């Protein structure tokens, strides 16, 4: 989930190149709807912390964890790393902006490997 179009597009392409199927959302509300509708087929979440108006990336991650307690979460955001310890879910990864899209692919892969889902 990313509210900046070009970052969303780059992440989408990098994750697809990394072998992942991707569902994209440009707002927290849209992300919550996708998680609710797709449920168990979602293997990991990549989210910005600030998603414009509505639910934040913290909210999206917490909701995803109510659906799947072990859901791998990657936060990709700028300037919110200090908040991660307070608002982030356990066993998640924070990738600070600016980042190379490959960093997010590696983070998702590592979390899926740790969870035995690859």
* Backbone torsion region of residue 26, taken as left when φ is above 0, otherwise alpha when ψ lies between -120 and 50, otherwise beta: alpha
Of 111, 79, 92, 78, residue with least CA distance to 2:
78
Reduced DSSP (H G I as helix, E B as strand, rest coil) percent helix, strand, coil of the chain, to 5:
50, 10, 40
Kindly report, residue by residue over 10-62, the tens digit of the pLDDT. Answer: 899 999 999 999 998 888 999 999 999 998 899 999 999 888 788 999 999 99
pTM (two decimals): 0.89
What is each CA distance from 8 to 20, 42, 74, 99, 115, in whole angstroms? 15, 17, 14, 13, 25
Which letter does DSSP use for residue 10 in this model?
Answer: H
Where are the extended beta strands (E) located within the chain? 45-47, 73-77, 92-96
- Domains annotated on the chain, with CATH: 5-114 (3.40.50.2300)
Kindly report, residue by residue over 81-118, the tens digit of the pLDDT. Answer: 778 888 888 889 999 988 899 999 999 999 999 877 65
CB 46 within 8 A of CB 1: yes
Of 88, 95, 105, 41, residue with least CA distance to 68:
41
**CA 14, chain centre distance (Å):** 14
């Amino acid at each position: 989930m990313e509210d900046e179009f070009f970052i969303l597009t780059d992440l989408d392409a990098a994750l697809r190149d990394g072998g992942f199927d991707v569902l994209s959302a440009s707002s927290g509300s849209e992300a919550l709807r996708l998680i609710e509708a797709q449920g168990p087929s979602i293997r990991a979440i990549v989210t910005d912390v600030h998603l414009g108006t509505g639910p934040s990336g913290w909210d999206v991650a917490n909701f995803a964890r109510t659906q799947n307690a072990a859901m791998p979460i990657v936060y990709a955001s700028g300037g919110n790393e200090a908040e991660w310890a307070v608002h982030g879910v356990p066993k998640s990864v924070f990738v600070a902006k600016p980042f190379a899209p490959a960093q997010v692919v590696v983070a998702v892969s590592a979390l899926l490997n740790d969870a035995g889902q690859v």
